[in-house]
Chains A and B, each alone.
Chain A
Amino acid sequence: MTDAKTLQEILQEVVLLGTERRQLDTSRLPSSIAERLPTAASPERQALDALTYTYFYQRTGTETDTYAGTLPTEILSETKPYIGEALANILASILDLEYSLKNELLKLWIHSVYNRGELIPSEKVLPMLEVCRPLNQHSRRKVTEIIGVRGQTILQHKSYQTYHFTALSETQWTEGPLEGRKLYLIKLRTTDPQKAIELLAQTWPSEGVRERISFLQLLSSNLSEEDLPFLVEMYEEYDNVPVPKTLSRVCKLHLVNMLTRLGHRPTLERIAEFMRPYLASQKAKGLLQKVWSGWSTNLLLPTAQDDHWNGPVVNTLFGLEEKNLNLKLYDHDSHYWMSELLAWVPMQIWADLLHMSPLQSTTYLLQDAAFQTVIGGKKVAIFRQVLLDSALRNTDATLVSDLSKLISGEDVKPLVPHMTQPDFEKYVMSHRLFLDLDLLTSRPISTANGWSAHFSKNIISELLKICKGKSFNPHQKFGNTIARYFHPEAFSHLLKSSGNFQNKTWFYAWRENIVEPIRASLLIRQKLNAIDDR
């Protein structure tokens, strides 16, 4: 009997090439097929019928295949509990919202489920993975934790590459690429800080300078007292040694920065010693007199390099660049070095040296005539940028607050995410930045960053004024932004204020684009808070 495969081969050549070029040899066909073919018919008819019989012959005359591989034996079962109906309902409400607001509230929802150690039901996993694709890596990592073992298994499929994260294990630290090692270090810093420092100390001598800078930046972002012995030990390599290479200088500066932040006495004394010849106590006058009375300490920087302040010394002591790299802004080398020190050494140290409060020191460094220059006909404070850098690098809340009061305009924008809530609200109101969506959304959503009722009311009132003046269309993006931070107590004010539109279209736009997102968001946040409090 001809098997299906051979039969296929006999026919395939004829059918593919055509009866013009190949003739069907019916004698090679199984008799049960051959005897059914019309003998007096054309070759095309014969081929067509042979094809038909062969198709059904194969379809019904063959057995099913046997699987040669090994069947999976381990059944994937979940140990954690699934979310309750309340959280499932909140998720459904969130998914109904507009894109940007949805994503923000989704993060809160994921955070809540993650903290409760619960899982989302398996039938919700696929839609959840789809909807969470645009979220940041932090949130997506949490998603991978709340989808359970089955959910984690399907992540290996190629369509879920967005959720493919480097496995964070010790092997990653010893063998992985820099990004993977950084992620492992971040994880250890939160779960086992001591081990993080031990691992870092073990490999430090063999690390390249780029790697060292990366790791120091990580330490800097969540510095703790326990890091001091490690940092002191690592600094020994750079202590009183000239560092001509740029990256090595940066590495040294990071170490100096962290040592000063942790109050390392020898480093602080070295800075004090370095500054002493140029600090002069005198009776306050001019600007300083306006700010406070009594004696103060002035910074009298040399206009030329001297034995104490010169390139090789600053490089050896702190790792500063020997030459002034910004001749446009800094008239003297000493100003350049001072700016570098201001950027890397926390403001409290300068306040102590100048015998002033941090606010007074910041005011002095920003506004004193000695620290001004003229660029393009405009007076510029030469330490303005480095003070902003210092505030961000050292996450110095006091300096952020002081700078937000002393500096106006675009320069302050980078500080906005770090401002206290009252400072932020004051800044927005005083600069009338109600419509600056980027600015308003630059602060992460958290209880601490929620707007006060007063500010929420003010925003609504100001917006209404602009809308009723017909100069602004109440766009949905705005409603979605306000909705993220809006205070619940201001909602009644929002409702009361929303009734007096002359223009019907704008009234509906206001209601749909501003009132509705705020209402929905408040409701969801309220429900989530209630669940979190349980």
Chain B
Amino acid sequence: MDIQDLAYKCSCPSRQFPCKHGLGLLLAFAAIPSATVVEEPEWVSTWVDKRRNKSEPKPATERTPEDVEKADAAKEKRLADRYTLVNAGVSELTLWLEDMMRVGLLELPNKPQSYFADMAARMVDAKAPGLAGWVRALSIVDFSQVDVWYQDATSVIGKLNLLLNAWKNQQNLPPLWQQTLRQLIGWSQSSKVLETDKTATALKDEWLVLGQEKETNEDIVTLRTWLWGCSTGKSCLHLSFGTRFSPLENGFIAGTIQESEVAFFPWVLEQRGIVRKTKQILDRLQTYPQMLAGVSELHRQEVEDIRQNPWVNNEVYLVQEVKLVTSDGRLYIVDVAGRCEAILPSVSDTMWPSWILATGHAAVDVAVVRKSTGLLPLGVFIDGKYKVL
């Protein structure tokens, strides 16, 4: 157990991390912080030393102007190569979509999964994993729902086509837009860079952890956490990823309020961000968040967001005084004026009981996430307190 820079190593075959022995030692350490090991076994000393050596920054080797020039040239070449690959991928995907239009979408439900999987793989090969994600989104449309699948499919195809068109025109766009498009295509964003990036937008606020959603796609687990800055009225989407080889890290508890600094990735209509540092966890809301006055206001805000960034997705909104109702087997939130918005069908079964238990049919303020097929309620505000659904 390395207490200084928390790490664990154990000879047991447990696949849990940390194992029960590690947890036991940590608990013992928490109970008696003064406890120390009189004599460290040799393998422990070796392991700790190795960790220390690794964590110590290596002395920077002095780079000559030629080295810098060489590195820059190599970087530019890599970038140019990637652009070439991505452009080829964009052309191929455009052709694929046009072909789809030629034969008609009625053929889509009959297509085998390989039809989508092959194209997604080609986009990954073209270094455009973002585009691969759009293709996969098309493959998971529920074609068994006769009345719904056409809407879902055209929503994906429409946004994807706009993205491909925008990419072809990207050189004429402002730098922020170019960056946004690159991210949509699949350029990765580095949290480590953002951690120290002084130019990035950073906001200090009481951040309410509104809720979380876990999604598994092949071997990758994505955990989305929505935060709301109570004073700034700004939302933040935090993403964590887990694979078979790296466990999912979850540093949030839904419903808690933390006084933190949140930094945002550059993006038209900033959305994704990271928590830089947390000062303290608060036991209650100090500032009650500003709400949108009903469903119509929510819609207007959504339209405004789409106008700014047509690919906006998973955006969270706070709406004032709504009730949950059932109509024709679907759930809706309805505001006092009678305006309604549909709830995501996939959560209907679990949402209704949770909502009734929390609200008892009272009109409440709610936090919802806009998904392509409906709203995902995250929690409700009752008597000034936030309750996760």
Q: Measuring CB to CB, which residues of chain A are less than 8 angstroms from any residue of chain B? A: 12, 15-21, 42-45, 47-49, 51-52, 54-56, 59-60, 63-69, 71-77, 122-123, 125-126, 149-151, 153-154, 157, 159-160
By a CB distance below 8 angstroms, the chain B residues around A20 are: 102-104
> Is there a chain A Cβ closer than 8 Å to B124's Cβ?
no
> If A67-B327, A123-B357, A126-B357 touch, does A21 touch B340 (CB 8 Å cutoff)?
no
Pairwise interchain contact A48-B150, C-beta atoms closer than 8 A: no
By a CB distance below 8 angstroms, the chain B residues around A76 are: 356, 360-361
Pairwise interchain contact A51-B161, C-beta atoms closer than 8 A: yes
Q: For residue B341, give the distance in angstroms from its CB to the closest CB of chain A.
A: 6
Pairwise interchain contact B158-A77, C-beta atoms closer than 8 A: no
Pairwise interchain contact A48-B325, C-beta atoms closer than 8 A: no
Pairwise interchain contact B310-A47, C-beta atoms closer than 8 A: no
> If A72-B323, A75-B362 touch, does A67 touch B158 (CB 8 Å cutoff)?
no
Pairwise interchain contact B98-A45, C-beta atoms closer than 8 A: yes
Determine which of B98, B107, B296, B334 lies in contact with A67 in the assembled complex, contact meaning CB atoms within 8 Å: B334
A–B Cβ pairs within 8 angstroms, 5 of them:
A18-B107, A20-B103, A48-B101, A56-B310, A150-B357
> Is there a chain A Cβ closer than 8 Å to B276's Cβ?
no
CA distance A64 to B375 in the complex (A): 13
Determine which of B97, B102, B158 lies in contact with A55 in the assembled complex, contact meaning CB atoms within 8 Å: B158
Pairwise interchain contact A66-B154, C-beta atoms closer than 8 A: no
By a CB distance below 8 angstroms, the chain A residues around B325 are: 67, 69, 71-72
Q: For residue B112, give the distance in angstroms from its CB to the closest CB of chain A.
A: 19
Nearest CB in chain B to that of A45: its residue: B98
Closest 10 CB pairs of A and B: A18-B104, A55-B158, A76-B360, A44-B98, A154-B353, A44-B101, A67-B340, A122-B357, A72-B361, A52-B158
> If A51-B161, A52-B162, A64-B296 touch, does A12 touch B150 (CB 8 Å cutoff)?
yes
Q: For residue A4, give the distance in angstroms from its CB to the closest CB of chain B.
A: 12
Pairwise interchain contact B102-A19, C-beta atoms closer than 8 A: yes
Pairwise interchain contact A48-B97, C-beta atoms closer than 8 A: yes
- Give how many A-B residue pairs fall within 8 Å (CB-CB): 134
Q: For residue B303, give the distance in angstroms from its CB to the closest CB of chain A.
A: 4
> Is there a chain A Cβ closer than 8 Å to B159's Cβ?
yes
The digit string for B329-372, where 1 denotes a CB below 8 A from any CB of A, is 00010100011110000000100111011101110000000000
Determine which of B101, B296, B323 lies in contact with A18 in the assembled complex, contact meaning CB atoms within 8 Å: B101
By a CB distance below 8 angstroms, the chain B residues around A12 are: 150
Q: For residue A167, give the distance in angstroms from its CB to the closest CB of chain B.
A: 20
Pairwise interchain contact B332-A67, C-beta atoms closer than 8 A: yes
Pairwise interchain contact A64-B99, C-beta atoms closer than 8 A: no
By a CB distance below 8 angstroms, the chain A residues around B354 are: 126
Determine which of B102, B161, B323, B357 lies in contact with A52 in the assembled complex, contact meaning CB atoms within 8 Å: B161
CA distance A59 to B311 in the complex (A): 12
Give the dominant DSSP class at A's interface. helix
CA distance A37 to B338 in the complex (A): 38
> Is there a chain A Cβ closer than 8 Å to B299's Cβ?
yes
Nearest CB in chain A to that of B352: its residue: A157
Report how many residues on chain B are interfacial, defined by Cβ distance under 8 Å. 48
By a CB distance below 8 angstroms, the chain A residues around B353 are: 126, 154, 157, 159-160
Nearest CB in chain B to that of A73: its residue: B361
Q: For residue B298, give the distance in angstroms from its CB to the closest CB of chain A.
A: 8
Pairwise interchain contact A49-B296, C-beta atoms closer than 8 A: no
CA distance A18 to B323 in the complex (A): 42
In the complex, which residues 112-157 of chain B have their Cβ closer than 8 Å to any Cβ of chain A? 150, 154-155, 157
CA distance A67 to B296 in the complex (A): 12
CA distance A149 to B101 in the complex (A): 54
CA distance A68 to B310 in the complex (A): 31
By a CB distance below 8 angstroms, the chain A residues around B306 are: 56, 59-60
Pairwise interchain contact B357-A15, C-beta atoms closer than 8 A: no
In the complex, which residues 277-303 of chain B have their Cβ closer than 8 Å to any Cβ of chain A? 295-296, 298-299, 302-303
Nearest CB in chain B to that of A151: its residue: B357
Determine which of A42, A43, A71, A150 lies in contact with B360 in the assembled complex, contact meaning CB atoms within 8 Å: A150
By a CB distance below 8 angstroms, the chain A residues around B361 are: 72-76
Pairwise interchain contact B295-A64, C-beta atoms closer than 8 A: yes
Nearest CB in chain A to that of B158: its residue: A55
Nearest CB in chain A to that of B336: its residue: A71
By a CB distance below 8 angstroms, the chain A residues around B104 are: 15-21
CA distance A75 to B382 in the complex (A): 13
By a CB distance below 8 angstroms, the chain A residues around B162 are: 52, 56
By a CB distance below 8 angstroms, the chain B residues around A153 are: 356
By a CB distance below 8 angstroms, the chain A residues around B150 are: 12, 16
The digit string for B145-181, where 1 denotes a CB below 8 A from any CB of A, is 0000010001101110110010000000000000000
Q: For residue A280, give the distance in angstroms from its CB to the closest CB of chain B.
A: 72
By a CB distance below 8 angstroms, the chain A residues around B28 are: none
Q: For residue B21, give the distance in angstroms from its CB to the closest CB of chain A.
A: 14
Pairwise interchain contact B340-A51, C-beta atoms closer than 8 A: no
Pairwise interchain contact B158-A66, C-beta atoms closer than 8 A: no
Pairwise interchain contact B349-A159, C-beta atoms closer than 8 A: yes
In the complex, which residues 79-115 of chain B have their Cβ closer than 8 Å to any Cβ of chain A? 97-99, 101-107
> Is there a chain A Cβ closer than 8 Å to B387's Cβ?
yes
CA distance A15 to B161 in the complex (A): 14
Pairwise interchain contact B105-A47, C-beta atoms closer than 8 A: no
> Is there a chain A Cβ closer than 8 Å to B50's Cβ?
no
By a CB distance below 8 angstroms, the chain A residues around B244 are: none
Q: For residue A12, give the distance in angstroms from its CB to the closest CB of chain B.
A: 7
CA distance A159 to B349 in the complex (A): 8
Q: For residue A230, give the distance in angstroms from its CB to the closest CB of chain B.
A: 45
> Is there a chain A Cβ closer than 8 Å to B192's Cβ?
no
> Is there a chain A Cβ closer than 8 Å to B58's Cβ?
no
Q: In the complex, given contacts A151-B357, A160-B353, what are 10 additional A-B residue pairs having Cβ atoms less than 8 angstroms apart?
A: A15-B101, A18-B101, A18-B107, A48-B97, A48-B98, A51-B157, A55-B158, A75-B360, A149-B360, A153-B356
Pairwise interchain contact B339-A64, C-beta atoms closer than 8 A: yes
By a CB distance below 8 angstroms, the chain A residues around B107 are: 18
> If A59-B306, A150-B360 touch, does A48 touch B105 (CB 8 Å cutoff)?
no
By a CB distance below 8 angstroms, the chain A residues around B360 are: 75-77, 149-150
CA distance A77 to B103 in the complex (A): 57
> If A48-B101, A76-B360, A157-B353 touch, does A55 touch B159 (CB 8 Å cutoff)?
yes
Q: For residue B13, give the distance in angstroms from its CB to the closest CB of chain A.
A: 15
By a CB distance below 8 angstroms, the chain B residues around A74 are: 361
CA distance A74 to B360 in the complex (A): 8
CA distance A175 to B341 in the complex (A): 43
Pairwise interchain contact A44-B99, C-beta atoms closer than 8 A: yes
Nearest CB in chain B to that of A160: its residue: B353
By a CB distance below 8 angstroms, the chain A residues around B307 are: 60
Determine which of B161, B340, B341, B387 lies in contact with A49 in the assembled complex, contact meaning CB atoms within 8 Å: B161
Q: For residue B370, give the distance in angstroms from its CB to the closest CB of chain A.
A: 11
> If A16-B150, A48-B97 touch, does A71 touch B323 (CB 8 Å cutoff)?
yes
CA distance A405 to B257 in the complex (A): 68
Nearest CB in chain A to that of B362: its residue: A75
Nearest CB in chain B to that of A76: its residue: B360
Pairwise interchain contact B161-A66, C-beta atoms closer than 8 A: no
CA distance A351 to B36 in the complex (A): 78
Pairwise interchain contact A42-B105, C-beta atoms closer than 8 A: no
